[in-house]
Amino acid sequence: MQTELTLVIGNKNYSSWSLRAWLPLKRSGLAFSEVFVPLMTPGYKDKLLEYSPAGKVPALLIDGRPVWDSLAIAEWVAEQKPEFWPRDAFERAWARSVTAEMHSGFSGVRGAMPMNCRASGRRVELDDATRDEVARICEIWTQCRETFADRGPWLFGEWSIADAFYAPVASRFRTYGVDVNAACAGYIETTWSDPLMQEWLSHAQQETQVIEKGEVG
């Protein structure tokens, strides 16, 4: 019998963690259905708790059983699609390092520049700590692109889970006009023009709910 997959996500315009899980699952070609829980609406938390013990999105229901947290979901998908991590053991560890660095850090960037796919031309003042985070992200992207340029346009040449984790960051840098070098600008463009990203963005465009704390700049 085929496994039944349901991905529970929040607003595509704002939910960066949902995007991190949706991209690998969509790219895998596995059939899944989506459940949309509009965040910050009355009763939304109880709704989330029906699906995820953590009360957050994303959650992946595998035959009704939950896997929660974007990284756990991405790892499950990569078990079905091992090519979603680099083949070489060191490169795989490197990709996991940059993914983990995103997953557990960059709180300044997340706080100052919330993902808002519909917005453009926004500008925010960044404090020194957040500027340092931006510089670190650019360092990660530049080093990866310089190393793997001959294998393809993604961080590790071919698309990997690391690209899913940095997709919301690329979106933020674009929305808030963050000044980056040519390698990073090229990577942001690669992410933005990806057909799956475009699909996500077109769904975000159709959403009408406005979440105030996501409207910055």
Quote the CA–CA distance of 70 and 58 in Å, as a whole number. 6
List CB contacts of 12: < 8 A, sequence separation 6 or more. 18, 19, 117, 200, 201, 203, 204, 207
Cα 8 to Cα 207: distance, rounded to the nearest angstrom: 16
**Smallest distance from the beta carbon of 70 to ligand GSH, in angstroms?**
3
Taking CB under 6 A as the binding criterion, the range among 67-75, 117-125, 141-149, 159-167 that sits at the site for ligand GSH is 67-75
* Contact of 17 with 169, CB cutoff 8 Å: no
Task: Select the residue interacting with ligand GSH from 5, 13, 16, 112 (CB under 6 A).
Answer: 16
- The answer to whether residue 70 forms part of the interface with ligand GSH (CB under 6 A) is yes
| Closer residue to ligand GSH in complex, CB, 10/24 | 10
Which one of residues 27, 51, 58, 187 is an interface residue with ligand GSH (CB under 6 A)? Answer: 58
For residues 14 and 176, which CB has a smaller minimum distance to ligand GSH in the complex? 14
Q: Is 113 in the site for ligand GSH (CB under 6 A)?
A: no
Size of the chain, expressed as the number of residues it contains: 217
Q: Which stretch binds ligand GSH (CB under 6 A): 14-22, 126-134, 143-151, 183-191?
A: 14-22
Note whether 45 binds ligand GSH by CB under 6 A: yes
Applying CB under 6 A, which of residues 5, 8, 25, 39 lies at the interface with ligand GSH?
39
33: phi then psi, degrees, rounded to nearest 5: -105, 160
Q: How far is the CB of 10 from ligand GSH (least distance, A)?
A: 5
Note whether 17 binds ligand GSH by CB under 6 A: yes
What is the rounded distance in angstroms from the CA atom of residue 216 to the CA atom of residue 111?
A: 10
Is residue 10 near ligand GSH by the rule CB under 6 A? Answer: yes
Q: What residues line the site for ligand GSH (CB under 6 A)? A: 10, 15-18, 39, 45, 56-58, 69-71
